[in-house]
Amino acid sequence: MLVRSLTFASLLVVAGPLFAATPSNVDPSPLEQDLGKARPLIVIVPSTADPTLRGLQDALKDPDTKSKFAERNLVLYSVAGTIGKRDDKFLEQKDTMILIRQLSKAAEKADTRVFLVGKDGEARRIESDGPVSFKQIFDAVDQLPAEEKAIQPPTVASQAASQAGAEEKPAKDGKPAKPVKPAKPLPPPKPLED
């Protein structure tokens, strides 16, 4: 019994850090849901009274601006202090903090920061002497590289095909591929003897 306990304890010591570092334990960025689908526009301001944030929110009430915003696949993220929103819906506090940490690496601390994240996931800071306008934002989107503009969101059919393709063998010489047989279940483990 002592040997079993020591073996188990040594396995935990060795494998514990490996389980702690797995990607499933790492909190995903709230921007991952938009990767390849939309262009997040992130406005980080000290308070909701900031002129940049107020100006952008007021401009989005205009139908013409709103249609140009949607045409360019933009999504508005706003962070005022430590309160985050995505399209006027509150984000969880941990998602807001992840967003702030992720973008604080991209720029020095400032009162107001505006970022445009492309469909490719690359963050670009929009600089301005005063409040940022939608003209500057639309110009920044229009100047994105052609490779970024060509990115298409994954469809449900392509996701299903990629999952099914992982389970099937590739076709050789134009012949149809044979489906992979499921593996046989393993027999139950034998009890350990001391």
Q: What is the pLDDT of residues 118-129, one digit of tens each?
A: 888 888 889 888
Q: How far is 71 from 114, CA to CA, in rounded Å?
A: 20
- Indicate the range of 4-13, 48-57, 82-91, 182-191 predicted with least confidence: 4-13
User: For residue 24, what pLDDT is reported?
Assistant: 47
Average pLDDT over residues 19-28: 54
User: For residue 13, what pLDDT is reported?
Assistant: 62
Share the mean pLDDT of the chain: 78
Q: What is the pLDDT of residues 34-93, one digit of tens each?
A: 888 899 999 999 888 899 899 999 999 999 999 999 999 999 999 998 899 998 899 999
Give the closest residue to 118 by CA, choosing from 81, 100, 139, 145: 145
Q: How far is 73 from 99, CA to CA, in rounded Å?
A: 20
Q: How far is 114 from 95, CA to CA, in rounded Å?
A: 18
Q: Rounded to two decimals, what is the model's pTM?
A: 0.64
